[in-house]
């Protein structure tokens, strides 16, 4: 016999009976279906979304790398509202698109209106579980424009307010940290998450932390707990951002040109991030700067439901060919998109999941939506991030 108010699992679906289900349906934006169960004297609602599945973090006893095993769990009804939201604030590489002093075919074409392309600000994303309180991942020099373009970041709960609860920086590259200065008018200390290497650069190489100490100040939270095999840091849960867990991991790439670690980067100079919804178990892997696909990086990409990764240049010598620099993509710490060992090949090998390129340099032909290169990405099921793009998991 089915009792009023009981929750049961049947055929992979969770059943909530009576008024609790009706209330949950009314309060949720998710789709519900009404269905009669023959053996029950009441009408029940069957909810078939996967929001009651979470992933349990485990470690293998061999490599120590994080692993996730799905299992169903009973949950609070409020969990159904905690859908992880990823907001792409900026999708371009350093300099934005069009770059202020560049007249390459892409930049000139966008200004003249002769190509089908969208302007883009410098790369940054924001993460939230409630659409009001956000963690800013990297602080772009364009952050003020990005806040104006995304009203969710300004909830206007007080005369001075911000939806940005904390900032997490993946490296100390100029296009990922100078936006910190734009947030100096904050009413309380800025909650800043970073590794020891990045914190060192923010105090010595480019001492923004010292500058900010004369304004809002910085409350630094360490990204620490590096594993013995140097593949991941301890997971982080940010106060006020309920239902989301952040898993930072070191990546092989370049430290900033001004950094003392430029020619000898170590774990923590450049980092990627696995962002996990505790309620749904869904995960996004974010790495705007990838110089090499190490085994732990490939594993993270294979475990993620969505990958948001480095799409800086189409070919390794792209900027050399245009006469803009003498540096290859590898010299700058980026994996090219095309060719053997390129990002397309990598993404083809990780199976079915959502695949999105971000941190697109102004020279990359994929910015032209009518280009052959853009068509190639579509054939491989790969998207190109744009400012204002929203991802929900």
pLDDT, position 230: 97
Alpha helices in 183-228, H assignment, sequence order: 196-200, 208-212
Residue 185 has pLDDT above 70, yes or no: yes
Q: What is the pTM of this model?
A: 0.81
Band (16; pLDDT cuts 50, 70, 90): very low
Selected residue with higher pLDDT from 144 and 53: 144
pLDDT, position 67: 58
Give yes or no for a contact between 176 and 169, defined as CB atoms under 8 angstroms apart.
yes
pLDDT, position 264: 84
User: How far is it, in rounded angstroms, from Cα 238 to Cα 96?
Assistant: 29
pLDDT, position 352: 97
Selected residue with higher pLDDT from 11 and 240: 240
Residue 3 has pLDDT above 80, yes or no: no
pLDDT, position 261: 84
Give yes or no for a contact between 356 and 382, defined as CB atoms under 8 angstroms apart.
yes
Assigned CATH topology for domain 82-392:
Metallo-beta-lactamase; Chain A (3.60.15)
Q: What is the mean pLDDT of the chain?
A: 84
Sequence ranges of the domains in the chain: 7-47, 82-392
Give the mean pLDDT of 378-393.
97
How are beta strands 190-194 and 164-168 bridged, if at all? parallel
For residue 32, count other CB atoms closer than 10 A to its CB: 18
Band (65; pLDDT cuts 50, 70, 90): low
Q: How far is CA 369 from the centre of its chain?
A: 23
How distant, in Å, are the alpha carbons of 44, 123, 184, 379 from that of 33?
A: 9, 39, 48, 35
């Amino acid at each position: 016999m089915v009792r009023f108010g009981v929750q049961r699992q049947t055929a992979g679906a969770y059943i909530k009976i009576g008024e609790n289900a009706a209330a949950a349906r009314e309060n949720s934006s998710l789709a519900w279906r009404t269905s009669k169960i023959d053996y029950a004297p009441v009408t029940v609602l069957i909810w078939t979304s996967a929001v009651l599945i979470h992933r349990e973090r485990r470690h293998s006893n061999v490599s120590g790398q994080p692993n996730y095993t799905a299992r169903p769990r009973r949950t609070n009804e409020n969990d159904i509202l905690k859908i992880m939201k990823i907001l792409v604030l900026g999708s371009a590489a350093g300099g934005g698109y069009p770059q202020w002093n560049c007249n390459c075919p892409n930049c000139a074409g966008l200004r003249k209106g002769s190509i089908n392309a969208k302007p883009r600000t410098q790369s940054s994303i924001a993460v939230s579980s409630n659409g009001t309180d956000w963690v800013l991942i990297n602080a772009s020099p364009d952050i003020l424009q990005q806040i104006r373009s995304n009203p969710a970041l300004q909830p206007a709960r007080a005369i001075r307010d911000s939806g940005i609860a904390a900032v997490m920086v993946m490296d100390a590259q100029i296009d990922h940290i100078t936006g910190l200065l734009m947030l100096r008018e904050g009413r309380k200390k800025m909650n800043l998450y970073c590794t020891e290497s990045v914190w060192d650069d923010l105090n010595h190489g480019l001492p923004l932390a010292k500058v900010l100490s004369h304004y809002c100040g910085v409350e630094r939270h360490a990204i620490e707990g590096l594993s013995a095999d140097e593949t991941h840091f301890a997971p982080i849960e940010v106060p006020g951002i309920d239902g989301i867990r952040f898993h930072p991991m070191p990546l092989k790439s370049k430290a900033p040109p001004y950094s003392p670690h430029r020619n000898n980067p170590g774990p923590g100079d450049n980092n990627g991030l696995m962002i996990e919804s505790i309620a749904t178990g869904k995960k996004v892997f974010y790495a705007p700067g990838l110089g090499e696909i190490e085994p732990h990086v490939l594993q993270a990409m294979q475990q993620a439901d969505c990958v948001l990764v480095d799409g800086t240049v189409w070919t390794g010598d792209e900027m050399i060919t245009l006469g803009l620099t003498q540096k290859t993509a590898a010299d700058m710490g980026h994996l090219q998109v095309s060719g053997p060992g390129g990002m397309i090949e990598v993404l083809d090998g990780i199976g079915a999941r959502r695949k999105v390129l971000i941190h697109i340099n102004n020279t990359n032909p994929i910015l032209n939506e009518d280009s052959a290169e853009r068509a190639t990405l579509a054939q491989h099921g790969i998207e190109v991030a744009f400012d204002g793009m929203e991802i929900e998991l």
